Amino acid sequence: MDTQKVVIIGGGAAGLSAALYLARAGLAPLVFAGSPPGGQLMLTSDVENFPGQESILGGQLITQMRKQAIKFGAVMRDENVLTLDIKGKNKTVNGVKTQSVILATGARALWLGLDCEKRFRGKGVSACATCDGFFFRNKAVAVVGGGDSALEEALTLTKFASKVYIVHRRAEFKASKIMQKRVLEHEKIEVIWNAEVKDIKGEKKVEGLVLKTEEGEKTLAVDGVFIAIGHKPDTELFKEQVELDKKGYIITSARYGIELLKAQNAPLEVQEKTYDPLFQTMTSESGVFAAGDCVDFIYKQASTAAGTGVQSALDTEKWLEKNEA
Ligand SMILES: Cc1cc2nc3c(=O)[nH]c(=O)nc-3n(C[C@H](O)[C@H](O)[C@H](O)COP(=O)(O)OP(=O)(O)OC[C@H]3O[C@@H](n4cnc5c(N)ncnc54)[C@H](O)[C@@H]3O)c2cc1C
């Protein structure tokens, strides 16, 4: 069987952007786009913050990205990768031999697990304030969660909403003291402690939350609810293959450089790691690159995922030039 020059795992914004660049470079990338393909953008309706697109459905944006990559020679397979060995020189992905690999399997927002959550997704239920906050100008919204990211979401929402409730199931936040101070002092934010969401009410879109509180069941009138209980990168498959952090995000050279700077007197064994600073998106394994939300636990946007996807493609191209026999 022929050896691919590059295999991309993931058919979301990151994987498809990498595919476009590699296809235009004549490398005919093979993309395992997953089943179902498309990634997180398929879960949303209007996307209004992808540069060049005033307003586009998430699914339509993905369709266009796919079409564009295929036009230049990318090959799509809408299947999940179940087996891979990407250590060393002889790499295989689902039985396909390849010289290099890009990991772009993204992440999943964690949801509460209520039936109604799915029904109202894109109709008032969201997991991203930066993405969807704009749709709630002068409206009341609730954020569910109590960690740093929940508080960050709440502060982002104060730029749009008239009122922001934080629904937290404990009597104190897990978040850092500085974040807590900012939230607790904010005039638009009200915290509802020791409360759990039992149900989401509404006809066609969210109209309120049913909460279980210490004083019994209570209805909170809101137009939107942002679930902020964390994200999980889809990287289980890679844990014996490349270095991951405690939460499962793939560590690339760029992050490693930052960590090194932080620990100015880094021990020798840390400095001797195989990361190459020339290839910002390279993982701990030579010839394996990573991009998008499986790496990024901070920005988590379609355009940033596309951006790192492009970086990973350019790194791969350069790496192939240097390493091809
Ligand atoms: C509800 C919602 C609304 C959002 N709205 C916006 C918005 O308005 N604007 C914005 O900029 N961002 C938005 N985002 C964030 C944005 O969708 C993500 O940042 C972006 O999709 C990340 O792209 P990605 O390619 O890294 O990962 P993903 O989109 O998660 O794609 C990962 C891909 O990998 C595939 N995959 C996973 N495992 C395997 C495997 N084993 N084998 C093969 N394939 C696999 C998946 O099927 C998928 O195709 C939103 C996110 C959500 C959840």
Domains of the chain, start order: 4-108+231-323 (3.50.50.60), 115-227 (3.50.50.60)
Closest CA to 143 of 127, 119, 160, 162: 127
Instruction: Cite the active site residues.
Output: 128, 131-132
Ligand 1: atom nearest CA of 34 is 44
Backbone dihedral region for residue 84 (phi beyond 0: left; psi -120 to 50: alpha; all else: beta): beta
Give the residue with greater pLDDT, 247 vs 277: 247
- Give nearest CA residue, ligand 1 atom 52: 40
Q: What distances in angstroms separate CA 161 from CA 41, 141, 153, 279, 312, one per listed residue? A: 23, 7, 12, 41, 37
State the chain's mean pLDDT as an integer: 93
With the most atoms of ligand 1 within 8 angstroms of its CB, the residue from 128, 237, 298 to mutate is 128
Distance 10 CA to ligand 1 centre (A): 9
Distance 12 CA to ligand 1 centre (A): 5
What residue type is 52 in one-letter code?
Answer: G
Q: Is the predicted pLDDT of residue 270 greater than 80, yes or no?
A: no
Distance 317 CA to ligand 1 centre (A): 24
Reported as a single tens digit per residue, the pLDDT across 216-259 is 999 999 999 999 999 999 999 999 999 999 999 999 988 877 77
Reported as a single tens digit per residue, the pLDDT across 43-56 is 877 899 999 999 99
- Give nearest CA residue, ligand 1 atom 47: 34
With the most atoms of ligand 1 within 8 angstroms of its CB, the residue from 41, 78, 101, 130 to mutate is 41
What residue type is 323 in one-letter code?
Answer: N
